[in-house]
Amino acid sequence: MTGGRRHRSNPIRLSPGDIMRDAARTIRSRPGRTVGLGLAVALGVATFVGVLSMSDAADRQVQRRIAAARPELVKLRPNVPSDGLFDDFGADVVERVDGTAGVRQSVVVHTYTDRAFRVRLGSDGEQVETGPVMGVEGDFVEATRSDTEGQGLDATTTAGRAHVAVVGGALADRIGLADPTTRPTIWVEGVPFMVIGLVTDSRYLSGAVDGVIIPRRTAIATLGEEVFDSTAYVRTERGSADTAAVALPLRLTPQAPERWAAEVPRVPIDVAEGISADLRNLSLAMAALVLFIGAVAIGNAMMRSVFERTPEIGLRRALGARSRHVLSLLVVEAALIGTVAGILGVVIGVVASLAVAGHNHWPITVSDWAVAVSVPGAMAVGALGGLPPAITAIRITPSQALRRE
Amino acid sequence: MSEALEPGQRGIVWKGVGLSYPGPPVVESLRPTDLGLEPGAYVAITGPSGSGKSTLLNVLGLLDRSTTGRFLLDGVDVTHCRDADQAELRARSFGFVFQRFHLLPTLSARENVELSLMYAGARPSERRDLAAAALERVGLSDRWSHRPTELSGGEQQRVAIARAIVRDQQFLLADEPTGSLDSRTAASVLDLLESLASDGRGVIHVTHNESVAHRASRRLHVLDGVVSEGDR
């Protein structure tokens, strides 16, 4: 035997249509396996879309809360108190402050700081030491965001010299004052005041709940005008406090704005935004983990499926299928399952995230980019998951594959 | 055993072809064999279980790769060709029929036959025509749309035979094709194989059954991986 010619191959290329039809037929022919595989991916994608959408919704909620906490208060004090006199601010301070752009309400609070006051309910009540006693002018309730029972002190009430008082809720408990609507009388250092209301809580002037608040002019007339701390509480529109803090000193004394110290109390927005970013990163990590688990699950399921189909693969090889034909069939099958499951997963994820957002009264949010990447991502996960078993399958010789039952 | 076949002629020529698996211990499934098989031969391969009959058939049909010797197919040395080339040669020259039919249960009879043509690169319309002709050749022209589960064992084996001849393959390799059939159905399948051989196609048929083997024009006997010419 002298030998023969070497064989030269004539590569056969299957059309994409053939591969797709063959893969689709195989998928349809094994509904149980297809549903099992698809569910693994669909749940992965649903979790991916759901987690990111819910994270977006939660993030927006955090942002909403941050926006709600944007500064709305300016505390204005004389930089160098003159002599501790009431007229640091001038007589028409409230009118001038209230006319400033962005300002909603204001109140000037003068607090006696030189001595303790004693108070009793009625002429024979137990005498106790009060918290701060304050003479105010302006809309005390709104400017300090105070909750009241009965009547509060507003601009009209505080403009006169009436002997009326609003008592802090804690102090009222101590002196046995329960119902302000009966207009009881309290005695402060022997001076009678008619109680018109209680301050049960105050966001910006927490000391008020243990104190006595009376009109400024009444305070001057009855308790004296020396040694106090004067502060204007100016409540602005949300986010306007910084601007108002600059404008107010100019408004009060255009020739000497440095006379005033304007302070804007802040909530820790930077920290809140940091927490929001951490939340988002955590969600992304969780979503990536879920997707990875999905890829492993589909790979594992495909491995079992390919193992079961080994005789079929052997038959296809015997009929002339090249390794790449088998490879493309298995990968396209897995990618098709991934694609359909991805679409299903997006629907489930969107519905779930809308339901959760609705239930928690969060902003309705669907993560656009999560939806956009999910279907191609699921297709890629399917294809990648199907690749290792497909490679394993084409390494088996046709005769070995045919022998497996 | 190369008989009258020489290199360059159509058919199969083996020179010292064998198959062993590395050990230890080394297992020689097929001892080095010289063999010539011309197209149109009806050859029966006999031997006890585990003797190497199926191994011989697998190496002949390029389902397994020999580890020694030279393999010429139609005068072309295919011993060391790549997997893809082997797949192409396998598809062009050999049709396979198995004891358990190996039909894809989700495809119709015609689609099962067409599958072989898909891997030959035939166009869909061409596949349909050729598959219909092959099914007609095996007597199943009226059963083309049925799935394997809707066909009897004999009909399923005929579909498998149609698949094995649809590309006008030179050799039909049948591994115990009647092993799962009753005697009457088996006889009709054997008649079909005989008629295909008389059409000029090489039919190589592994069987345990002596009476079946006697229908062949040539007989090879395998024992412990050694191939010898058997009695007619």
Instruction: Tell me the ipTM for this assembly.
Output: 0.89
Helical spans, DSSP H, in A4-159 = 16-29, 31-68, 93-98, 140-143, 155-159
Tell me if chain B has a CB within 8 Å of the CB of A13: yes
Q: Read off the pLDDT of residues A87-140 as tens digits, 9 standing for 90 and up.
A: 556 667 777 788 888 889 999 898 887 778 889 888 888 889 988 999 998 999
B62: number of CA atoms within 13 Å, CB side?
A: 32
Per-residue model confidence (pLDDT) at position B195: 87
Q: What distance in Å separates the CA atoms of residue A158 and residue A136, rounded to the nearest whole number?
A: 7
Q: Which of B53, B63, B71, B86 to mutate to test binding with chain A, by most A CBs within 10 Å of its CB?
A: B63
- Shortest CA distance to A390 belongs to which of A333, A315, A349, A320? A333
Q: Which amino acid is at A384?
A: L
Give the chain B residue whose CA is nearest to the CA of A31. Answer: B106
- Shortest CA distance to A210 belongs to which of A192, A219, A198? A198
Residue contact A325–B119, C-beta within 8 A:
yes
B58 closest CB neighbour out of A2, A399, A405: A399
**Chain B residues close to A28, C-beta within 8 Å:** 106
Q: What distance in Å separates the CA atoms of residue A29 and residue A34, rounded to the nearest whole number?
A: 9
Per-residue model confidence (pLDDT) at position A273: 66
Which two three-digit tokens encode residue A12?
């056969």
Q: Is 0.80 topped by the overall pTM?
A: no
CA distance A26 to chain B (A): 8
Per-residue model confidence (pLDDT) at position B62: 92
A314: number of CA atoms within 13 Å, CB side?
A: 24
- Shortest CA distance to A243 belongs to which of A95, A71, A44, A358? A71
Per-residue model confidence (pLDDT) at position A84: 46
3-class secondary structure, A75: strand
Q: Read off the pLDDT of residues B140-199 as tens digits, 9 standing for 90 and up.
A: 889 889 999 999 988 999 999 999 989 888 899 999 888 878 888 888 888 888 888 888
DSSP A159-227: HS---EEEEEHHHHHHHT---GGG--EEEETTEEEEEEEEEEEESS-GGGGGSEEEEHHHHHHHH-S-S
Given pLDDT bands bounded at 50, 70 and 90, which one contains residue B2? very low
CA distance B83 to chain A (A): 8
Q: What distance in Å separates the CA atoms of residue A222 and residue A163, rounded to the nearest whole number?
A: 9
A75: number of CA atoms within 13 Å, CB side?
A: 12
A320 closest CB neighbour out of B54, B88, B100: B88
Given pLDDT bands bounded at 50, 70 and 90, which one contains residue A270? low
Given pLDDT bands bounded at 50, 70 and 90, which one contains residue B131? very high
- Shortest CA distance to A47 belongs to which of A303, A286, A253? A286
Residue contact A28–B92, C-beta within 8 A:
no
Q: Which of B5, B17, B74, B102 to mutate to test binding with chain A, by most A CBs within 10 Å of its CB?
A: B102
For all residues of chain B together, what is the average pLDDT? 87
Which two three-digit tokens encode residue A95?
């009118």
| Most confident segment among B38-42, B66-70, B193-197, B227-231 | B66-70
A197: number of CA atoms within 13 Å, CB side?
A: 18
Q: What distance in Å separates the CA atoms of residue A161 and residue B15, rounded to the nearest whole number?
A: 127
B106 closest CB neighbour out of A29, A320, A398: A29
**Chain B residues close to A6, C-beta within 8 Å:** 76-77, 81
Q: Read off the pLDDT of residues B10-63 as tens digits, 9 standing for 90 and up.
A: 889 999 999 998 877 888 889 999 999 988 889 999 999 889 998 999 999 999
Residue contact A3–B7, C-beta within 8 A:
yes
Residue contact A3–B163, C-beta within 8 A:
no
Which two three-digit tokens encode residue A376?
């191609």
CA distance B203 to chain A (A): 17
Per-residue model confidence (pLDDT) at position B30: 93
CB atoms within 10 A of CB A82: 10
- Shortest CA distance to B68 belongs to which of B103, B8, B18, B130? B18
For residue B91, report the phi and psi dihedrals to the nearest 5 degrees: -65, -35
3-class secondary structure, A109: strand
Per-residue model confidence (pLDDT) at position A374: 85
> Which has more pLDDT, A201 or A55?
A201
Q: What distance in Å separates the CA atoms of residue A250 and residue A229, rounded to the nearest whole number?
A: 21
Residue contact A2–B7, C-beta within 8 A:
yes
The yes-or-no verdict on residue B6 having pLDDT over 80 is: no
A residues 293-322 lying closer than 8 A (beta carbon) to B: 311-312, 315-322
DSSP A117-159: -EEEETTTSPPEE-S-EEEEEE-HHHHTTEEEEE----HHHHH
CB atoms within 10 A of CB B79: 19
